[in-house]
Amino acid sequence: MDKDTTATITVNRRELNRMSLRPVKFAELIASGAIKIDGNASAFKAFFSKLDNFEFWFNIVEP
């Protein structure tokens, strides 16, 4: 990790998909060891909390 990097996460694709679709809590993935954070974990958690949470079944086109 270089001096300009705040945090680096390591996660496999399956868990990344689960995280993106939000059926699982981010804190649960960290606690289980599915996500490993090197650096400032609170900075990454703050970033992740700012992401929008969209409904999975949203309308593409409305009349």
Q: What is the pTM of this model?
A: 0.61
Give the pLDDT of residue 25.
76
Give the pLDDT of residue 36.
92
| DSSP per residue, 31-57 | HHTSEEEEE-HHHHHHHHHTS----SS
- Per-residue pLDDT of the chain in tens (63 residues, 90 and over written 9): 677 888 898 999 988 887 777 667 777 888 889 889 999 988 888 887 787 766 667 677 766
Q: Are 17 and 34 in contact (CB under 8 A)?
A: no
Q: How far apart are CA 56 and CA 20, in angstroms?
A: 10
Q: How far apart are CA 37 and CA 44, in angstroms?
A: 8
Give the pLDDT of residue 54.
66
User: What is the SS3 assignment for 7?
Assistant: strand
